[in-house]
Amino acid sequence: MNNVEPIRNQQKIYAIKQHILGDQYNEKYRARDYLLFVFGINSALRISDLLSLRVKDVLNAQGEIKDHFKIRTSKTKRELKILINDSVKKALEKYFEQEKFPDPEDYLFKTQTGQRLDRIRAWTLIKKWIEAVGLDPSNYGTHTLRKTWGYHSRKNFGIPIELISEKLGHSSNAVTKRYIGISQEEINNIEKKVCL
């Protein structure tokens, strides 16, 4: 499960977003699926924690999108304060345009019958999106969303590995490096550049 890859190419991330929004066979769940993808790659939450979110976690009593929310993670039992960034806010706005007057107790990611979306369905959706943009689905899974956050935090935003490790709740920086897929080739490229 953990030996899946992050989505390294930003154009592929954009292509997945466009694919989900243009999915004519999934019109009813388009906004939900878009939110699942965007929330996953922007929050770094494990899929089990992401799928456990309820409407009241992201909307205040006045029905407005919150700036952040708190969650106790299922695996580590750590309480996290998660910022709802602009990308997630826009995805939530799109979702709540479709889901008018949601019950605060409803799961954010639910099925047609109102049940919580399960890991297997989320896994199937991620595989479908990956394949639609020309990537090999056997290399990706539910951890891909979380790993994508970690990979791009370091690669594109220069966030120190120590902070990424803290955010992901890892026991060491070495675990984080393996998790987000720092490859030997990448290390060799750095060695070529640093020539003192």
pLDDT at 1 over 50: no
Q: Which two tokens stand for residue 83?
A: 């910022």
- Dist CA 11 CA 61 (whole Å): 37
List the chain domain ranges: 10-193
| Torsional class of 180: left (φ above 0), alpha (ψ -120 to 50), beta (otherwise) | alpha
Concerning whether 170 is annotated as a catalytic residue, the answer is yes
25, 75, 100, 192: the active-site residue: 75
Helices (H), 109-157: 119-132, 143-155
- Dist CA 1 CA 5 (whole Å): 10
Concerning whether 14 is annotated as a catalytic residue, the answer is no
Read off the pLDDT of residues 84-104 as tens digits, 9 standing for 90 and up: 999 999 999 999 998 877 899
Q: What's the predicted TM-score (pTM) here?
A: 0.86
32, 146, 147, 152: the active-site residue: 146
* Higher per-residue confidence, 23 vs 67: 67
pLDDT tier at 3 (50, 70, 90 boundaries)? confident
**Does domain 10-193 sit in CATH 1.10.443.10?**
yes
30, 110, 143, 154: the active-site residue: 143
Read off the pLDDT of residues 9-31 as tens digits, 9 standing for 90 and up: 999 999 999 999 987 667 778 99
46, 154, 167, 177: the active-site residue: 46
Concerning whether 32 is annotated as a catalytic residue, the answer is no
